[in-house]
Structure 1
Amino acid sequence: MADQSATPPAFFTDGGPALYAWMRNARDNTPVKFDETSQCWKVYRYEDVHHVLTDWETFSNDMCRIVPEHHFTRGNLSTMDPPVHKQLRGVISQGFTPRTLAQLAPRIEELVKELLDEVGDRNEIDIARDLSYQLPLNVISELIGVPREDRGILQRTADAQLALTCENPADSDFVVQVQKAMEELQAYIKDLISVRRAAPRDDLISKLVTARVEDRALDEEEIVNFTVLLLLAGHLTTMSLLGNMMLTLSEHPDQLAEVRADRSLVPNAIEEVLRYRTPVPEGGRVTNRDVELGGTVIPANKMVLCSLISANRDEREFPSPDTFDIRRGSNPQLAFTTGIHYCLGAHLARLEAKIALNAVLDRYAQLNLTEIAWYQSHSLCNPKHLTFDVQRA
């Protein structure tokens, strides 16, 4: 048995075989354990992770009692419980249905073409820099209503978030750093709210400005926090999916060739990438009461971190979990979590990935990976640079 007292390989890279071997050992021997480094309870098996994510009455998203310095709560769906969560999510969810998002497909196709056109006839492309970072930033900005000339603010905030490293999400110094990284974007959104109050448009921030929840308008803090969450989550998570998708397919050239020849395999390939190389390593909750999970009692008012990476590699749920297989049948992966907090932008992320992958395969007959570098982040598994030698089709 491997030494479970050892620290697992860092999350800020793919981790490779060492990470997955460590997690397999954890699932077998310590599926629920208290981690001294993060000062959190860690959960590794699929069944237990799924239970935590779906039992909102026991496992709360409200971090305030654990992180009292946390001021990014009001209006932030990721830190809310029902009934307020359901009410606020309902305000905006219609903007993210598959039918609604399908109408965005032509505009996303235009954005992908613009980005690839900027690469021009160069025989080298950094997919992470030139496409996977830029595309979701522009898509979510347009949805929210951030003008193109102002998107540098979102880029600076995203870069600041990606530069933060801390294994304990409840650490007060880390919380202060996170809030400081968002200050410029929060101030900008406040100004944008004022503009939209005076002259609403057909964008999501206008919907928030004019929305009513229980016969009241949302206040400025709620709108700011909700908008910041949408901007950052809509950018960074999709960025990770796009980069991981191109990396993983390049590592499996036979399957890349299958996808190139049969584009009906694209959706399956995206789901398998989400399982095989999960963009967000962990999902956090707080216990409302003492609870037994995986044979272990977790006390009340303790932070629980669900390892989405480990759950998506659990051999109890997925046959041959360390094998990348675009023809995998059942694939209930948890990359976007599940339950009431299932990622609001999951359909949009899939749509962007589908359009981007098809466009890259249409444009380039050959893609040969030459360089990869990872973000030093505990919150995302994502290539910072992903360089390919390419040959135009």
Structure 2
Amino acid sequence: MSLGFRGLRRKHVTMLVSLVVLLASAVIGSYLRLYPVFNSFESGYGPMLNELDPYSEYWTAEKLLEKGLAYFFSLNEHNEETHIFWYPWGRDFVRSSLPLTPMFSVITYYVARLFSPGLSLYEWMVYVPVVFFILSLIGIYLTTRELWGDIPAAVSSLVAAIIFNSRQLAGFTVKYSAGLGFIFLATYFHVRTWKRRSYVDALLCGIFMSLTAAGWAGFNLLLAAIFLQLVLQPLITKVAKEDLILWGFETLPLALTIAILPFYGPLYLVLSVGILIPLGFAVIGIALLLEHVATQKVVKLKYPLLTKWRFIYLLLIVLIGVGGLVGLTTGFLHLKGKGLAAMGLGEMTHVLVGTVQEYASASPQNFIWSSGAPFIISLLML
């Protein structure tokens, strides 16, 4: 009884220490990311947005504050208010931008103003990236805790807090900021979904992936990773019909968001990365069918080769993968210029990305500089 109590107490102490480190990480990380504001005040200015992209997000948010959130879908090239951008034609924000960052800024501004009535929307949007940082920090902590426990979660939150990320600096309010705020929460609920076989967690994963997609096309990174896990799963363990339901809860909210937002549109689910959603259903269906056929007595007697269903499944997956590469190289499947550049297919892009430092080829020292410390810590956490 005494040993059990000590073990329980040790567990609670470990969890408490982990939560204290999480809180400290949030404070330290927020302080570091607020440095542009501190520097601005020291120079005699107030909080300031950094560069043009954050200003366009602010301009959009200001319109939504004045005329309602739904007004975002009226900000196209036919709206004279947009003609100050891309003059004289006007900018179609509906198809060239995503709504989450300005909408989130407006909604949270109402809350922030309760505590600081004199706060302007412009000033609040300077601080919004720090809010997204805290959300991403919570997602990283919860995901690591679900996978490895309290101590690794504490370490991961501290590492995430001190690593430089320009997308979370105060004043740099862009779509990446919003996407990073929700993608790790989506990852957390995905991990819970497949560990606990929970429909509720699957739905929450789908909701947070939808929020990520509404703010940043980088949701494709998580979707591709989840799809890869789904593809490899039949090679490791048995597939159940329940997997179809879990995949549906995880991806159908995302598919609905993609179809509704003009930035993507329904064709994104057929001719771009969104095709992974219907392909996921197909992959699970193929695995279930092959597994079922392999267990039939007639098949075992007359067609013994079909009992090697995992080998057949692997061949089909390879064919699907080859088909995807052919689709990319021939242009049948469309990726944004940034996505192609990230995959090393920059020569196929229809926009200038090679001249932007962000998409320049990385050298080994770049990797060591940006990812060396997290990589070493991740190995130690194993």
TM-score tier (shorter): under 0.3
TM-score, scaled to structure 1: 0.23
Q: Structure 1 or 2: larger helix share?
A: 2
Higher normalized contact order (CA 8 Å, seq sep 6+, divided by chain length): 1
- Greater gyration radius: 2
Q: Structure 1 or 2: larger strand share?
A: 1
